[in-house]
Chains A and B, each alone.
Chain A
């Protein structure tokens, strides 16, 4: 049996926790909650370099918490729309979550095959 949707929730909890563990990233989210902003606009109040801000934004994007909008040459960031609304994003997350579990199952099966293994 596979109880897979749970793993999606776990993956999301995990990436959300990691993304939110950093005070700067929490503050960036708080800023974006007030409205969209570019990297430049975010860098100024945080007194950080643009590459440093970009690294934080990347973590938040990977966690599905923020997204980019294309506006001419500008790329303002904003809080993300729910990722799982989109079926393709849902399936991609599902694929990653399942693959990790099956890699672990490979190890369990290998242990079952050895005399010292857990077979009953």
Chain B
């Protein structure tokens, strides 16, 4: 049984440039490290909202190895991310860089993830680059535009009949 209070996630900013996330898991550092680095395991949990899947997950587990992940909502919507693994210290530390394609690539997000033994479990500490206002705006624009597009076809007739 997980202790929900003990395993609660924290998320804090560090200065103006970084976000630090911590989370405890009831599993060994080896298991948590593998779940963060092996494609077949990543595809099981790094999925976002219900209904989304990750049809493509490439993560070459060595320094310089390429990362590519593609997500789909099953209704023709999706996007992808590319990156590279930079440093891999088995079961202790991962460093990688990633960028989203919206479709223009966002600035690189540099991510360091630590896996520390914590009793019978693992404390994960992840530090990443905080996206600037411009990147946040492009993320919003992507979400809004794609969502709105789905409805624009209906809007004209609704405007005519309902208003």
Contacts and interface: CB of A to CB of B under 8 A. Distances in A.
A38 to B, nearest CB: 16
Contacts of B123: none
A6, A9, A12, A105: most-surrounded residue (chain B CB, <10 A):
A6
A3 B25 contact: no
The secondary structure that dominates the B interface is: mixed
Nearest to A47: B162
A72 to B, nearest CB: 27
Interface residues of B, number: 72
B27 A109 contact: yes
Of listed B131, B136, B155, residue having the most chain A CB within 10 A: B136
Given A16-B147, A109-B35, A9 B23 contact: no
Contacts of A20: 147-148, 150-151
**The 4 residue pairs across chains A and B that have the minimum distance between CB atoms:** A16-B147, A12-B143, A10-B48, A84-B136
12 contacts: A1-B36, A1-B59, A2-B46, A6-B79, A11-B48, A24-B162, A27-B162, A98-B21, A101-B47, A106-B7, A106-B26, A112-B34
